[in-house]
Amino acid sequence: MTVRLALAQVAAGRDPARNLERALATMDAAADLGAGLVAFPELALLRFFPQWERHAGARELAEPIPGPTSDRIAAKAADRGLVTVFNQYEAAAGKHYDTSPVFDADGTLLGITRMVHITDYACFHEQAYYDPGDRGAPVYETRVGRVGVAICYDRHYPEYMRALGLAGAELVVIPQAGGLDEWPEGMYEAEVRTAAFQNGYFAALCNRVGAEERLTFAGESFVSAPNGAVIARGKRLENDLVVVDLDLAECAASPARTLFWRHRRPEVYPGLGSG
CB distance 218 to 180 below 8 Å: yes
> Pairing relation of β-strands 83-85 and 88-92?
unpaired
User: CA geometry: angle at 156 spanning 35 and 20, to 5°?
Assistant: 40
d(CA 43, CA 86): 9
Alpha helix stretches (DSSP H) within the chain? 16-32, 68-80, 158-166, 187-199, 249-252, 255
The count of residues in the chain is: 275
The mean pLDDT value for 54-71 works out to 96
Please list, in sequence order, all residues whose beta carbon lies within 8 angstroms of the beta carbon of residue 43, skipping any fewer than 6 positions away. Answer: 12, 49, 87, 88, 89, 98, 177, 208
What pLDDT band is residue 74 in, cutting at 50, 70 and 90? Answer: very high
DSSP 3-state of 203: strand
Question: Has residue 275 got a pLDDT over 60?
Answer: no
CB distance 144 to 3 below 8 Å: yes
What pLDDT band is residue 182 in, cutting at 50, 70 and 90? Answer: confident
CB distance 132 to 113 below 8 Å: no
CB distance 143 to 10 below 8 Å: no
What pLDDT shows up at residue 185? 75
Q: List pLDDT tens digits, range 147-174.
A: 999 999 999 999 999 999 999 999 999 9
Domains and CATH numbers, the chain: 2-260 (3.60.110.10)
Q: List pLDDT tens digits, range 206-236.
A: 999 999 999 999 999 999 999 999 999 999 9
Question: Has residue 272 got a pLDDT over 70?
Answer: no
d(CA 97, CA 112): 11
Closest by Cα among 22, 4, 2 to 12? 22
Q: CA 220, 223, 227, 229 torsion: positive or negative? A: negative
Half-sphere exposure of 80 (CA within 13 A, CB side): 24
The mean pLDDT value for 28-49 works out to 98
In Å, what is the CA distance from 223 to each residue of 21, 102, 204, 214? Answer: 26, 19, 4, 27
Question: Has residue 87 got a pLDDT over 60?
Answer: yes
d(CA 144, CA 3): 6
